[in-house]
Amino acid sequence: MKKPLLKTLLLFFFSCSINNSFAQSWYDQYFDGADSAFSTNSLYIKIDTAASNIWQVGKPQKIIFDSAATLPNALVTDTINFYPNNNISRFTFNVPLYGPWGILGIQWKQKLDMDDGFDGGMVEFSIDTGATWQSAFNNPSVYNFFGYPSPDFDTLVSGEYAFSGTDSLWRDVWLCYDLSFLTTWVDTIRVRYTFISDNKEGWMIDNMNAHVTMLHPVKEETKVDYFNVYPNPTKNIVNIELQRLNEYHIIENMQLINAEGKLMQEWNKIPTRYWIDVNKYPNGMYYLKIKSNLKSKTIPIMIQK
């Protein structure tokens, strides 16, 4: 009899450090996917003390989980062995906040190999240092949660939402949390990853990062199909198409802004069908602010080469 999957917190975080040892106690280390030394982009993770905890940082040596996204190490539910039945494994990290405003963005890469609909990995967060947890799925504060195909997500027999099933491709997952929904001031959001398993390879995570930005890519209350921006993610070219209308309209201003709020490029008075080349910019999250003479919108754009 499988246990219901416990709620798990998974929000974006900076990738952590390198260690091939298995954690048998609260175990702290930095991780950044590139196996670099500690930097301001690193997150400090804590792996649970439970003797049954199978989260490890090391070189993956399984069938589907055969290598990290950035060599050599990743966070894996055991680097060598399949996960056992009814396993519960967790790790957490904290994201410091500097005010009740802005957007918390979390990014990571992942692969999945789980018993679809029974085992999974859930995303949760806590604003009271772990006293209570909220799921990131179907949460009004989370207005963007994307980068994975629909088969990678399922409702478990316990009724919880989770990543589940098998996906052997590295997926770039993004989550955006609106800090303006906080009703009281907190200086930290705690993130927890909980995995419950039943004899497959499990969950592999790499290249994690987190940031707080002042930009708010929330859709305005306009027709969803007025703005069409694709492909997303993109390697080089981004196409912008506005809905065909009988009335006159033009893109009056468009800006490409990075995750730190820096203006990278700007366009004025351009047609409603247009394309831009973003190949010169490094990988990461950007925001395309589009203003026509009728409507405006800010759209998250991920550059992934």
| Residues 79-113 pLDDT 10s | 999 998 888 899 898 888 776 667 787 888 899 99
**Each residue's pLDDT tens digit, 199-209:** 788 999 888 87
Query: Looking at 149, 179, 213, which one is the last position of a domain?
Result: 213
Do 192 and 290 lie in a common domain?
no
- Domain assignment of residue 8, yes or no: no
Do 103 and 208 lie in a common domain?
yes
pLDDT surpassing 50 at residue 139: yes
Alpha-carbon distance values, 19 to 59, 92, 142 (Å): 9, 16, 32
- Which carries the bigger pLDDT value, residue 247 or residue 50? 50
Do 290 and 164 lie in a common domain?
no
Do 67 and 188 lie in a common domain?
yes
Do 206 and 86 lie in a common domain?
yes
Do 204 and 289 lie in a common domain?
no
- What is the average per-residue pLDDT within 63-80? 91
Query: Looking at 178, 213, 248, which one is the last position of a domain?
Result: 213
Do 234 and 190 lie in a common domain?
no
- Domain assignment of residue 117, yes or no: yes
pLDDT surpassing 50 at residue 121: yes
Do 197 and 115 lie in a common domain?
yes
Do 188 and 251 lie in a common domain?
no
Res 217: pLDDT: 44
- Domain assignment of residue 76, yes or no: yes
What is the maximum span of the chain, computed from C-alpha positions, in angstroms?
A: 66
Question: What CATH number does residue 260 fall under?
Answer: 2.60.40.1930
Instruction: State the pTM of this model.
Output: 0.61
Q: Sorting pLDDT into bands at 50, 70 and 90, what band is 133? A: very high
- What is the average per-residue pLDDT within 299-304? 90
Distance CA 155, CA 164 (A): 9
Q: Provide the number of structural domains found in the chain.
A: 2
Res 140: pLDDT: 64
Q: Identify the top-confidence range among 26-30, 99-103, 186-190, 210-214.
A: 186-190
Distance CA 9, CA 128 (A): 13
Do 209 and 188 lie in a common domain?
yes
Do 166 and 242 lie in a common domain?
no
Residues 6+ apart with CB under 8 A from 95: 11, 13, 43, 104, 106, 188, 189, 190, 191, 210, 212
Question: What CATH number does residue 133 fall under?
Answer: 2.60.120.260
Distance CA 123, CA 203 (A): 13
Query: Looking at 191, 213, 235, which one is the last position of a domain?
Result: 213
Q: Sorting pLDDT into bands at 50, 70 and 90, what band is 151? A: confident
Distance CA 90, CA 94 (A): 14
Range with lowest mean pLDDT among 76-80, 169-173, 195-199: 195-199
Containing domain of residue 291, as a range?
Answer: 224-303
Tally of residues, the chain: 305
- Domain assignment of residue 15, yes or no: no
Q: Sorting pLDDT into bands at 50, 70 and 90, what band is 9? A: very low
- Domain assignment of residue 1, yes or no: no
Distance CA 132, CA 203 (A): 24
Range with lowest mean pLDDT among 16-25, 93-102, 275-284: 16-25
- Which carries the bigger pLDDT value, residue 126 or residue 246? 126
